[in-house]
Structure 1
Amino acid sequence: MKAGPRSQRVLLHAFSTFKLGGPQARFVQLANALGSSYRHIVVAMDNCFDAGDRLESGVHWEAMRLEVIKGGALANRGAFRALLFKLKPDLLITYNWGAIEWAAANFPRVVPHVHVEDGFGPEEASRQLLRRIWMRRVLLGFNAVPMVVASRNLQRIATGIWRLPESRVKFVANGVDLPALTKNKTESWDVSKQLCIGTVAGLRPEKNIARLIRAFAQVRKTWSLNMIVVGDGPQRNELEALAKELGVEGEIEFTGYLADPTARLADFDLFALSSDTEQTPIALLEAMAVGIPVVATRVGDVKDILSDVSPESLSDADDAAFVSALSLVLQSQSKWPSWTEKGREKVNLTYSKTQMIEQWRQVFDGQFRLIPT
């Protein structure tokens, strides 16, 4: 953790948690790429800062621990507002509903503010909650807060349901590196050999890893398979118990938290995403970038990402449908080389890390309107 001079542009990032997840992984990518150009102050509503382990030594950042009162959307408004007056950052960046109290603290406006939406928890997987709709309309709409969204689906929700002006809602695609060399798994894509199904996810309800485990237990009756679950979270014990109940605990490896989860992608033959809700999942893009075929639920922007890559690999967010899709994908190994080639091309054209960094640099610099829609 390294502090920088006050002459740097100071950004206050407000997260619900700074455990490693999609928004946190993207922030780490950006901070490492932009180096000492900014000073980052990070606050987390749970005072957990594990993702900071992935920040490089050249990043000037500070984890600011706070006394957080639990149990109310406005419980901490006064204390947070006082801190905004004290710190006077050049820009406040709030991430998702879990940091909405910081939007409340900046109402009326104390400092420039950009809000970021990446997606929803299980409570909003299938419908928007009325109370949250109104709070977003008031705190973000009335305070004229620009919003960055990670998917076209979120862009539609923000303008259509939350009724925020289109001019203040900008889509910035998540981006990942495109490795110079792809995985060469062609020889192992053979029905006579054991294949590895893998996923990278926080073990939370909305990721529905239980759906993947149940599907794995079904298809392994026909196929020789093992599975790797990269990630940790509150459901880990429950998921390990489910694997044992289904008699597949010996074929599933739960890695727990990894500082660099992408290191295990080399072990995957097939990437699986079984979520009930997603927007533009970075783990999916990373798997496509290194040349791994995927099977995924048709949620958020996932259907748009895969529609011209491997439409056969898409499934409704339903257990029976996911089993059917996984079985079909395993039967379609002759198509995997074509899918992976198209997937890498899609990532290169639409979801490159270079494009993402340049657009976020404009956000960090307060040049929000320069981002193309």
Structure 2
Amino acid sequence: MTSAPHLLHVFSSFEVGGSQIRFCQLVNALGDRYRHSVIALDGRTDARGRLRPGAPVEIISFDHHKTGSLRDLRRFRRTLATLRPNLLLTYNWGAIEWGLVNIIRPICPHIAVVDGFGPEEVAASLPRRSFIRWFVYGRARSLVVPSRVLERVARDTWRIPARIVRYIPNGVDVARFHQPPDPALLAQLDLTGAEPVIGTIAGLRREKNVGRLVDAFARIVQQGRAARLVVIGDGPLRHDLEAQTHRLGLAGRVIFTGALTGPERLLGAFSIYAISSDTEQMPISLVEAMATGLPVASVDVGDVADMVASENGRFIQGRDAENLAQSLAALLDNPTERARIGAANRAAATARFTERNMVEVYDRLFASAMTGRP
């Protein structure tokens, strides 16, 4: 009996985020078809809690303080040569050097996965990074992107050949998100009242710009609308955001839950899902909200306008707090419209963004990369 193919996954961090959540989805769904090793370059492995018990995953301890030197590259190459996986997968800019060290005398096939940019590339790709991406990703078996915006950037800005770029949208288990919220959690968060709830799921980092959502929420409260705001997620800006809510007189109206396992336990209590990020591509949390049957108010970022149902399109607008406040106010004022749009979003998620489809495409991609067949 042959052993399962060995896949090595290199992340800059294995904290909970889009790439990491999708990795856990794939591992949990694919069972024992592959065995996986994970390297987190910063040593953070919080996302391992989302793996099913007994998942064929080894977390490799890799104490690394990046220096940008040849010593780093030599260490990466030695580790890759020691592990000798059947397939190397690198995630985003922070792991690109692992693809670089695999170019001359390749040890194994390489698939690069890019989910988006950091805050330093919100306005435009940095020329030096674009060149390195062209050099490394252009020599990979595939460059996987979850959004049409990234697909265009990869082809037009990074000049990656079209035959290498693969658009694979993120997917979720739609049925899992069609359930009522957890009553105990609602009581714990004091969300048992009748006020409509605006909610978001976001790492509390600069590029997610939750402060913009807090500002937009303050505007609709000042206009006399009764509502609550719930922020699911944690991060380095939590203290600053909590201070902002106090400064704006929103204490008691804004709830920060911190990190929450199983967002489906709370999403069903939301009336509107909101996105305020400076940079997004194809947010998994948006697909989860659509699968729950929520209308969406968002700034116009990434693929969001193309992901939601056409009925929801007019509430994806602009890039500032005023635009977001207008969308939130319009949805708050029309419960019938909210229900109609939410149903359309659920239908769109069911038709386009299922976990099953995503898993099947990635499974075929892994197999084709290792055999060399398209």
Normalising by the residue count of structure 2, what TM-score does the alignment of the two structures yield? 0.91
> For each residue in 1:320-350, what CA deviation from the matched residue of structure 2 results, as whole angstroms up to 9, or x when unmatched?
2222222222223221122112111111111
After superposition, residues 164-203 of structure 1 pair within 5 angstroms as: 164-179=160-175, 182=178, 193-203=194-204
1-side partners of 2:98 and 2:218: how far apart? 44
Match of residue 122, structure 1, among 119, 122, 125: 119
CA distance in 1, matches of 2:82, 2:373: 29
Give 1:25's aligned residue.
21
Alignment correspondent of 1:79: 75
Whether 1:291 aligns to 2:293 is yes
Deviation at 1:180, TM superposition (A): 7.3
Q: Which moved more, 1:256-265 or 1:48-57?
A: 256-265
- The answer (yes or no) to whether the contact 1:69–1:75 under 8 Å persists in 2 is no
Map 1:214-293; keep pairs closer than 5 Å.
214-221=215-222, 222-293=224-295
CA distance in 1, matches of 2:99, 2:261: 30
Q: Percent identity?
A: 40
CA root-mean-square deviation: 2.1
Amino acid at match of 2:148: R
Q: What is the CA distance between 1:270 and its match in structure 2?
A: 1.1
Q: What is the Cα deviation at residue 163 of structure 1?
A: 0.4
SS in 2 for 1:310: helix
Q: Hey, what does 2:327 align to over in structure 1? A: 325
From 135, 138, 160, the equivalent of 1:138 is 135
1:31 offset after TM fit, Å? 0.7
Residue 18 (structure 1) shift: 0.6
Question: What amino acid sits opposite 2:237 in the alignment?
Answer: Q
AA aligned opposite 1:344? R
Cα distance in structure 2, aligned partners of 1:180 and 1:91:
31
Three-state SS of the structure 2 residue aligned to 1:315 is: coil
1:91, 1:366 within 8 Å by CA — same for their partners in 2?
no
1:100 matched to 2:96: yes
Q: Distance in 1 between matches of 2:147 and 2:318?
A: 19
Distance in 2 separating the partners of 1:299 and 1:318: 11
CA offsets per residue over residues 69-111 of structure 1, 9 Å max, x none? Answer: 3242765211010011111000000011111121122122221
Question: Which residue does 1:47 correspond to in 2?
Answer: 43
Which letter maps to 1:306? Answer: V
1:204 aligns with 2:205: yes
Assess if the C-alpha contact under 8 Å between 1:35 and 1:58 holds in 2: no
Residue by residue, what CA displacement relative to the aligned partner does 1:223-254 show, whole Å, maximum 9, x if unpaired? 11111111111111111111111111211111
Which residue identity is paired with 1:223?
R
Rounded Cα–Cα distance in structure 2 between residues aligned with 1:323 and 1:214? 8
Other structure's SS at 2:219 match: helix
Shift >6 Å, 4+ stretches: 368-371
Of 344, 362, 365 in structure 1, the residue corresponding to residue 364 of structure 2 is 362
Residue identity in the other structure for 2:206: P
Deviations 1:32-69 (CA, angstroms, capped at 9, x unpaired):
11112211100111111110011011311111121313
Instruction: Indicate if the aligned counterparts of 1:362 and 1:370 stay in contact, CA closer than 8 A.
Output: no
Residue 259 of structure 1 and its aligned partner are, at CA, apart by: 2.5
CA distance in 1, matches of 2:316, 2:353: 19
Q: TM-score scaled to structure 1, two decimals?
A: 0.91
AA aligned opposite 2:43: N
CA distance in 1 between counterparts of 2:140 and 2:36 reads 23
In structure 1, the gaps of 5 or more residues are 186-191
Count how many residue pairs are aligned between Structure 1 and Structure 2. 360
The structural deviation recorded for 1:179 is 1.8
Task: Report the Cα distance in structure 2 between the residues aligned to 1:282 and 1:343, rounded to whole angstroms.
Answer: 14
Cα 1:370–1:199 shift into 2, 3 Å? farther
What's the offset of the Cα at 1:206?
A: 1.0
Counterpart for residue 214 of structure 2: 213
How far, CA to CA, are the matches of 2:209 and 2:102 in structure 1? 35
- When structure 1 is superposed on structure 2, of 320-329 and 269-278 the one drifting more is 320-329
Task: State the SS of the aligned residue for 2:108.
Answer: coil
- 1:360 Cα deviation from its structure 2 partner: 0.9
- Mapped to 1, the partners of 2:176 and 2:134 lie a distance apart of 44
SS in structure 2 at match of 1:280? coil
